[in-house]
Amino acid sequence: MKFLSALLILFLSFSSLSAFASDPLSTLELLKELVRIDTSNPPGNETAAARFIQDYLKKFGIDSEIIESKPGRGNLIARLKGNGKKESLALLGHLDVVPADPKEWKHPPFEAVVEGDHIHGRGTLDMKGLAALEINTVARLKLENFPLEGDVLLILTADEEAGGKEGAHFLVQNHWEKVKTPQVFSEGSIGVEREGMNLYPVQVAEKGVAWMKLTATGASGHGSMPTKDNAVLKLIRAIDRLTARPEPLERTAVVQEFLNQLSQSMPFPQSWVLKHFFDGPVKALAPKLAGDFLEKQKAFGAMIRNTVTPTMLQAGYKTNVIPAEATGFIDARILPGWTAESFRKKLEERLSDPGIKIEVVMESLPNESDFRTPFFQTLKKSIQSVDPKALVAPYMSPGATDLRFFREKGSTCYGIIPFVASQEEIDTVHGKDERVRISEIARGEKILYNLVTSLQGGPSHESQPSTTP
């Protein structure tokens, strides 16, 4: 009997080891599976993706928890424990994607079609590609029984594309003890091909959000009898005054360092201009001399000033009736040092029109992390060990990500999707025919593995990051 019991225990041990030692999917195959789970937001349906990931992680002996903010809005948390010698690191990602109209796409957006060196599909760049890297990095660490000195968390959230209320914001506000971490890595930018080099702009800061509603009032009446007291005309003129000229250039520490780093790869006089972009004569002439450049390089143009963009207009109910009220909405993004209210007052003073009411309808403060840290230097080395042509520089994102919720809690947060893409490929994010090069997935695997093992491993791993695929 004892012999049979021992034999049974031995059998179960081998069975357990076999299940634990399951080979992970290639990151490409994992990305395909994630793309094929439609998590368009709205409505999201992120729980379906979270459950798939939970089952996948179980194959490697990794437990995870799914927390729903609402039915179907699932957030997944997994943790690999370290020995406590180092602080924890979170790999953060979101599972939702923006909607896609199949009629506009070359390939169906949720079929993950491979064509040449590209995989096509909604979320391949934003950001199921990085999520797949994060999932497989955690799986690899577990399979290798890697000696972690600090915990590694995997946090995959819902609702990032609609503001994060049901995702990262929900977790930080209601389950902080489960996601608390002093270091976070996520999206925020992407590597880009620029004039013979690969530029990796690491997001260390985000502009603030100040969505505003403009309300104009006037006299209602018959459309056949024009009047100057027309709410629609007042609104149009107000928006024109607010957007007729760009906001003035403003120096920030992050953007100045970004330009300093970029200048090192440029010949004179471009290098000098970049270093002194915010100084006296250059600052005064930049809007005129670099106007076309700033128009084409939208992300850079948005980093150097506050921005005001009209997005919606609403008025009237019948063609031949002059409405008594017209409303418009603007998406303003603000630099550090500004609040939504201080910027609203500035716009109000510019209009100087008591007939136009301006009110803030949604806001978030600008946020940033110090880029002069060992964390940033380790990320820089991890990128350069894989890509010798890499120029790594701190960057301010014009848009908002889930990182802002962690920065509000004091976490140091950096964001970059570690692929290199052409401008044409980057333009597919939130657009049609979104895609990523398969060769870039391999690059991203190496960079992320190097980052995690260098940060969370012992001294030998800090000095010798792995470059194996």
How sure is the predictor about 290, in pLDDT bands with cuts at 50, 70 and 90? low
Per-residue pLDDT tens digits for 154-191? 999 999 999 999 999 999 999 999 999 999 999 999 99
Both 134 and 234 in one domain: the answer is no
Contact status, residue 291 vs residue 300, Cβ threshold 8 Å: no
H or E element at residue 54: helix 46-58
* Whether residue 57 is found in the same domain as residue 136: yes
Mean pLDDT over 225-230 rounds to 95
Give percent of the chain with pLDDT exceeding 70.
91
158 and 215 assigned to the same domain: no
Neighbour count for residue 392 (Cβ, 10 Å): 22
Average pLDDT over residues 82-107: 98
Alpha carbons 38 and 397: distance in angstroms, whole number: 27
Q: Is residue 338 part of a domain?
A: yes
**Taking residues 36-50, what's their average pLDDT?**
98
Which CATH number fits the domain that encloses residue 327? 3.30.70.360
Give me 435's structure tokens.
Answer: 């895609």
* Lookup result for tokens 């959230």: 157
pLDDT at 17: 35
Establish if 268 belongs to a structural domain: no
How do 89-94 and 321-322 pair as beta strands?
Answer: unpaired
Average confidence score pLDDT of the chain = 92
For residue 464, pLDDT over 70 is answered with: no
Number of folded domains in the chain?
2
Span 222-237, average pLDDT: 96
Whether the predicted pLDDT of 291 surpasses 70: no
> Taking residues 289-303, what's their average pLDDT?
73
* Residue 78 bridge partners (DSSP): 64, 154
- H-helix or E-strand spanning residue 94: strand 89-94
What is the pLDDT at residue 462?
Answer: 66
What stretch of H or E contains 289? Answer: helix 280-289
Contact 125, 429 (CB under 8 A): yes
Instruction: State which of 365, 383, 406 marks the end of a domain.
Output: 365
**Can you tell me the mean pLDDT for 218-245?**
96
pLDDT digits (tens, 9 = 90+) for 122-147: 999 999 999 999 999 999 999 999 99
Picking from 365, 380, 412, the residue at the C-terminal end of a domain is: 365
Same domain, 163 and 56: yes
Report the alpha-carbon distance of residue 231 to residue 242 in Å, rounded.
17
State the pLDDT confidence band at 41, using cuts at 50, 70 and 90: very high
pLDDT (0 to 100) of residue 469: 38
Query: 16 in a domain, yes or no?
Result: no
Residues 107 and 229 in one domain: no
Q: Is 99:11 a contact under the CB 8 Å cutoff?
A: no
User: Is 17 in contact with 139 (CB distance < 8 Å)?
Assistant: no
Give the residue numbers spanning the domain of 233: 208-247+306-365
Question: Higher model confidence: residue 3 or residue 235?
Answer: 235
* Domain annotation covers residue 182: yes
| 240: Cβ contacts below 8 Å, ≥ 6 apart | none
Rounded to 10 degrees, the C-alpha dihedral 406/407/410/411 comes to 60
Region 23-48: mean pLDDT is 97
Whole-angstrom distance, CA of residue 70 vs CA of residue 158: 10
pLDDT of residue 458: 85
User: Which residue has 């793309």 as its token pair?
Assistant: 35
Question: Cβ(368)–Cβ(239) under 8 Å?
Answer: no
How much is the pLDDT for 293?
58
CA distance 139 to 148: 13
Sign of the dihedral defined by the CA atoms of residues 405, 413, 89, 141, in that order: positive
Burial 165-186 (b: 16+ CB within 10 A, else e): ebbbbbbbeeeeeebebbbbbb
Residues 105 and 235 in one domain: no
Does 157 share its domain with 115?
Answer: yes
Cα 59–64–68 angle (5° rounding)?
A: 130
Best CA proximity match to 395, nearest among 414, 410, 382 = 414
The larger pLDDT score, comparing residue 297 to residue 277, is at 277
Does 260 fall in a domain?
no
For residue 89, the domain's CATH number is 3.40.630.10
Q: How much is the pLDDT for 11?
A: 33
pLDDT at 271 over 60: yes
* Residues 370, 371, 375, 377, Cα dihedral to 10°: -160
176 and 228 share a domain? no
pTM confidence score: 0.90
Q: Does 29 share its domain with 142?
A: yes
* In a domain? residue 401: yes
84 and 233, same domain (yes or no): no
Is residue 218 located within the same domain as residue 330?
Answer: yes
Radius of gyration for the chain, computed over Cα atoms and rounded to the nearest angstrom: 25
Query: Quick check: is 371 in a domain?
Result: no
Is the model's pLDDT at 468 over the cut of 70? no
Q: Rounded to 5 degrees, what are φ and ψ at 415?
A: -140, 125
Give yes or no: residues 146 and 237 share one domain: no
Mean pLDDT to the nearest integer, 334-356? 96
Query: Residue 18 falls within a domain, yes or no?
Result: no
